[in-house]
Amino acid sequence: METVEKLLLVSPRGFCAGVARAVKAVDDTLALFGAPIYVKHEIVHNKHIVEDFSSKGVVTIETLAEVPEGAVVVFSAHGSVPEHYIEAKKRGLTLIDATCPLVTKVHLEVHRFLKDGYTIVYIGHKGHIEGLGVLGEAKAGQIPLVESISDVENLSIGNPEKMVYLTQTTLSIDDTAGMIRALQKKYPQITQPPLSDICFATTNRQIAVKSLAKVTELVLIIGSKNSSNSTRLMETARQIGTEAHLIDDISEINQEWLVGKKIVGLSAGASAPENLVDGVVQYFKSKGVTVEEYVVGSETMHFAEPLELMKLRKKE
């Protein structure tokens, strides 16, 4: 640690508007109904948030069959397949839908483009919960998923006249751009959604980390291993040529990473709470390291609470 002189704390970082909305939705649901409440899938991909909610009586489940009759269930920020909404209604569950509005936007685009006769190609990570929800809006196998340029090259969908690509909200801007170019080369007629599906927070954090990586020798990203956007931040820094590591908290800082490094950068994924950032900052300060803010941009986006919570408040 003796060699580290400065820690640059980048902005924007940490919670995005969708994550803040989802976490608050669980807190508010607990306050309204009391424990236990059930959350389908991790509310956001951060182990500290999930563990904290668990200690308060939140039960994380993967199937609605695990939810008792008449219980309260919150759908996670990542979105859900239509069948889950139908099942919750049939079973009389009280449903609070905390899906990020930007994920909902992609679900609605699927409906609109299919209705208008488009062939859709979805750019995303195979098996990611967000993509499973989006693809679930269509018949099984109707929308091909690509996660690499080779996947694009291997696409076998004929040459439809009307085509559009949609994307997962948490992808790497640079990697996605490469796949889009490959799609446009293979299918010159393919169109793009009216607005980029990669969310503003993902974009802003990647731009900030790209700038941070150019002025530091090591970048630490706070986020859980199953967080897509956090992993993309680490990869973004590495693509600049800067050493970067993804850590859940200060306990995962490897002292060997710090040897010979004078300037270290710090960011956090969109699902990582600020108290974890504070922990790392205090750790470096305790070692005599100067901490400076490194502001690349700012965010003012805020989403209204889930409609179900609004309705419940009106009844009170």
Distance CA 92, CA 14 (A): 36
Considering only CA atoms, which of 134, 143, 126 is closest in space to residue 108?
134
The residue behind tokens 């500290």 is 48
Contacts of 175 (CB under 8 A, 6+ apart): 235
Check if the beta carbon of residue 217 is closer than 8 Å to that of residue 263: yes
The single-letter DSSP state of residue 191 is B
Q: Which two tokens stand for residue 247?
A: 């850590």
Give the residue numbers annotated as catalytic, written as ranges: 130
What count of other Cβ atoms lies within 10 Å of the Cβ of residue 213? 24
Chain-centroid distance, C-alpha 222: 13
Helix (H) / strand (E) containing 146: strand 145-146
Contacts 24+ apart (CB under 8 A), 278-287: 279/249, 279/250, 280/220, 280/222, 280/247, 280/249, 280/250, 280/253, 281/7, 281/9, 283/250, 283/253, 284/4, 284/7, 287/1, 287/4
User: Are 131 and 125 within 8 A, CB to CB?
Assistant: yes
